Amino acid sequence: MLSNVEAAFKGLLTCLQAYKMYGLRHPMFTRSLDSAHASFEDVLAERQEMVIGIVGEDLAFEKEIFFDLSKFLRPAILYLKERNIERFAFLHGLSKDELGIFIEFIARPKEDFKGDIQEMLNLAGIEHINIGKLKVADGKDKAGSGPDQRGLYDSSADKINQALSGVLNFEKIDHLTLKLSMSNIMESLSTKRQELLKLATLKRYDMETYIHMLNVSILSMYFSSRLGFDKSDVLNIGVAAMFHDIGKLFISRKLLHKPDKLTDQEFGRIRSHTIMGAEIMLKYVDTLGILPVVVSFEHHLKYNSSGYPRMPLLRKQHLASLIVSICDVYDALSQRRGYKQDYSPDVVYNIMNKEKGTSFDQELLDKFFRFMGLWPVGSIVALNDGSIALVKDENESDIRRPKLEIISPVDKKRSVDLAQDNSLSIEHYLNPWKEGKEYLRLV
């Protein structure tokens, strides 16, 4: 048995070397893959799984440590550890195709192995291989907790920028890494909702359009998850939301950064971005599905179909488009553009509520603000007694009266639930880049 396990692991690393030297289609890689898979079949014919661990710099199988093999394979072991891979579990039923995809996966640059690498495998469709770091006694991996929310936000922004750039250049995109970034955000929304939504609602002064698209994606995933969608649908809506404005980027980045008001001709070009975006995303249906095409086309159509592109016949929009449309307008109103100032949260609320039944589905819009609140998490607000507070959480029963932390005066710092304290109320919002800037150090 041990000799078969050694042969299987050697075959795996031989495949990796052949892939790096010759590529996926070369006969040398094909032969090495055939040989490796045969070795795995020999082991898995006698057991349901084969688990190999890397302890220090040595390979281990069950109670055995392969000291001699480990010395021989030391560079390969270090290569795997750099990618946060310390444990392999190969399961009965492993196919040759899966093994080939796995080889291609571990050949990626080490920078790609951040976050949940097992989720990356799952997204690639690999069902019979599990990988990760070794566990310690308390069940946590040795790396400790995952990235903080700001790091997750910024890392996701980088990955999304790469994906958008690839689509704009009609290149093949790494949809696996893209979906992993979206999946990481989706998982964080269930555990670190306040921190992530705070970043999405308050990071408003980066003029790059891809930050807007990331924000809309975060808001869309949060909204759809609160509406009760399952995880796969939430992820698909998030990906579609991320590409909703791809046509706008394609048409002209210069127009988007123009400091003056757009001319009628320029605005007309921008309006055509929905059709252009749908045409672009049609090229990626095989990897991203049809939903990005639909959302790109419909997100400015408006609930009553009075928007654009103009349709000869009234048609019911996809629910994902209605969700993304609300999140798109919400984030756009909250950002400062070259041709307008940003609006405070209460003004955004009033503007959007005037469009109930026309631009937005009334029931969806009501639910959106019930989940988001009138004053988003992280807002700095002035109270009627002269104190300054930070919004910590929402009260769905009364969106105007959230849960707060008073931050100034410092000697009166405390937590307050406005739903329980009728003596206090919010007077107005403090822009964190203007009149609220002096209070940021207290947050």
Q: Answer whether the bond into residue 75 is a cis peptide, omega within 30°.
A: no
pLDDT at 49 over 70: yes
Q: What is the CATH number of domain 149-372?
A: 1.10.3210.10
pLDDT at 425 over 50: yes
Structure tokens that stand for 345 in this block: 């949260």
d(C-alpha 91, C-alpha 73), whole Å: 23
Place of tokens 């739903």: 419
d(C-alpha 302, C-alpha 309), whole Å: 10
The arrangement of strands across the sheet holding 87-91 comes to: 64-66, 58-61, 49-55, 87-91, 129-132
Task: Encode pLDDT of 250-303 as tens digits.
Answer: 876 556 556 677 677 766 676 688 999 999 999 999 888 899 999 999 999 999
> For the residues 313-318, what does the mean pLDDT come to?
80
**Cβ 115 vs Cβ 151: under 8 Å:** no
% of the chain beyond a pLDDT of 90? 39
Task: Encode pLDDT of 117-132 as tens digits.
Answer: 888 888 878 889 988 7
Helix, strand, coil share of the chain (percent; to 5): 55, 10, 35
> So what's the pLDDT on residue 84?
85
Q: Domain extents for the chain?
A: 2-132, 149-372, 380-442
**Cβ 202 vs Cβ 283: under 8 Å:** no
**Cβ 139 vs Cβ 158: under 8 Å:** no
Task: Encode pLDDT of 75-102 as tens digits.
Answer: 888 888 888 888 888 999 999 999 999 9
> So what's the pLDDT on residue 356?
95
